[in-house]
Chains A and B, each alone.
Chain A
Amino acid sequence: MQLINEMKLEFMSKSNNEAFGRIVAAAFASQLDPTVEELADIKTAVSEAVTNAIIHGYENNSGMVRMVCRLYDDGIEIVISDEGKGIEDVELARQPLYTSKPDMERSGMGFTVMESFMDRVDIVSEPDKGTTVTLFKNIKS
């Protein structure tokens, strides 16, 4: 697993940055010559992680969302982190259909989508400190 390229980005926790974040990640990933389907998977997973940072991490407060993308010879790693309120029970949050915000019509499928579309999803979170989600997708170049 050899590092080929790396980029770092920070943006405000505004909902119009959900599309910005996923498009940037997909544009960077395209250097590995992924299939159209692999790119769609990456965009969807990044959109879920960035949305979580905005609506759960920072709720209605303003903060910065950080995204680091690393290209390796066998795939892409995307690290999305916030310094928001954190997740008390990560295992519970990972459960399909579990949502802490049912009133907002949140489906509770965010982590399930990330796990289905990526090959690895790691979540590190600490209440009142923030959450870091690391996504990895194998891409055969």
Chain B
Amino acid sequence: MDVKLLRKGTTLVIRIMEDMDHHSAQYLRQKIDSEIIKSTVKNIIFDFSKVNFMDSSGIGIVVGRYKNIQKLNGRAAIVNANPKLMQIFEMSGVLKIIPAYADLEDALTSMCG
């Protein structure tokens, strides 16, 4: 149970269930990318509600997936990230290109509504 992928229309909700570091990065990338490729995913939402720990390897995972869907005019969002995660997203400039929302409903309304 390392990542749960849920479809909400053309939006893919990616709920990561483990620590995000260099060790987990490759697995997460493969799992997420294979879902994005095989289906008609337009937008993606990263749900961090189950992530207690993330280092800068997490930035690579998020920005890498964002770049892929952006080529197809898709959008990305971050939800439920704890303050420490938000600090890392903030200092790396991620929040300038990927908006963060307090919860999933807010993100879905904003992206699809």
A, B bound: yes
Contacts of A91 in B (CB 8 A): none
**In contact, B21 and A18 (Cβ under 8 angstroms):** yes
Binds A, one of B1-9, B42-50, B84-92, B99-107: B84-92
Q: Which of the candidate stretches A1-9, A58-66, A105-113, A122-130 sits at the interface with the other chain?
A: A105-113
* A-facing residues in B22-75 (Cβ within 8 Å): 22-23, 25, 29, 53-57, 59-61, 63-64
Q: Which residues of B contact A110 (CB under 8 A)?
A: 55-56
Are B64 and A47 touching (Cβ within 8 A)? no
Contact of B57 among A16, A43, A51, A116 (CB under 8 A): A51
Interface residues of A in 41-100 (CB under 8 A from B): 41, 43-44, 47-48, 51, 54-55, 96-97
Q: Are B53 and A109 in contact (CB under 8 A)?
A: no
Do residues B91 and A109 form an inter-chain contact, with CB atoms below 8 A? yes
Tell whether, in the assembled complex, residue B55 and residue A47 are in contact, meaning their CB atoms are under 8 Å apart: yes
Give the number of residues in A that approach B within 8 Å (Cβ atoms): 26
- Whether B22 contacts A109 by the Cβ 8 Å rule is no
Main secondary structure of the interface of B (DSSP, over half): helix
- Whether A15 pairs with B23 at a CB distance below 8 angstroms is yes
On whether the beta carbons of A19 and B23 are closer than 8 Å, the reply is yes
- Can you list the 7 inter-chain pairs with the closest CB atoms, starting with the nearest? A105-B60, A15-B23, A107-B59, A109-B56, A47-B55, A105-B64, A51-B22
Given contacts A15-B21, A109-B88, list 17 more A-B pairs with CB under 8 A: A15-B22, A16-B23, A41-B84, A43-B53, A44-B53, A44-B84, A44-B88, A47-B53, A48-B55, A48-B56, A51-B21, A54-B22, A97-B93, A105-B25, A107-B59, A109-B92, A112-B56
A-B contact pairs, 27 of them (CB 8 A): A18-B22, A22-B53, A37-B84, A41-B84, A44-B54, A44-B84, A47-B53, A47-B55, A48-B56, A51-B21, A51-B55, A96-B92, A97-B92, A97-B93, A105-B63, A105-B64, A106-B60, A107-B56, A107-B57, A107-B63, A109-B59, A109-B88, A109-B92, A110-B56, A112-B91, A113-B55, A116-B91
